[in-house]
Amino acid sequence: SGAEPVLIVDAGTRRVREANPAAARLIGQAEAAMEGQLFTALLSKDSAPSVQAAFASATTSSAAPAVPV
C-alpha cells in the first residue's frame, strides 16, 4: 500500500492512541500493540530526545520543527 505511516499521539500523555497499517509495518508491531505505548518507546534511543523536544515545542507554540526519526 502507498499509505503514509500515521500515529495519533495524545499530546499530554505522549501515548499512541491510534496507528495505521503503514506505521505498524514501519515500526514492526501490530497496530493494536502500539496503542497505549509511549510514543518515544517506539523510536530509536537516538531520536527520542529530538522528538520529546518537538512535542514540548508543539505544546508551547503554534508550530514545531520537523524531526527526522
Q: How far apart are CA 56 and CA 69, in angstroms?
A: 16
Taking the CA of residue 11 as centre, how many other CA atoms within 13 Å lie in the half-sphere pointing to its CB? Answer: 9
- Helix (H) or strand (E) segment spanning residue 18: strand 16-19
Q: What pLDDT, in 10s, does the model give residues 18-47?
A: 999 999 998 999 999 999 999 888 888 888
pTM of the model: 0.71
Between 52 and 63, name the one with better pLDDT.
52
- Mean pLDDT rounded to a whole number for the chain: 83
> Across the chain, how many H-helices and E-strands are there?
3, 2
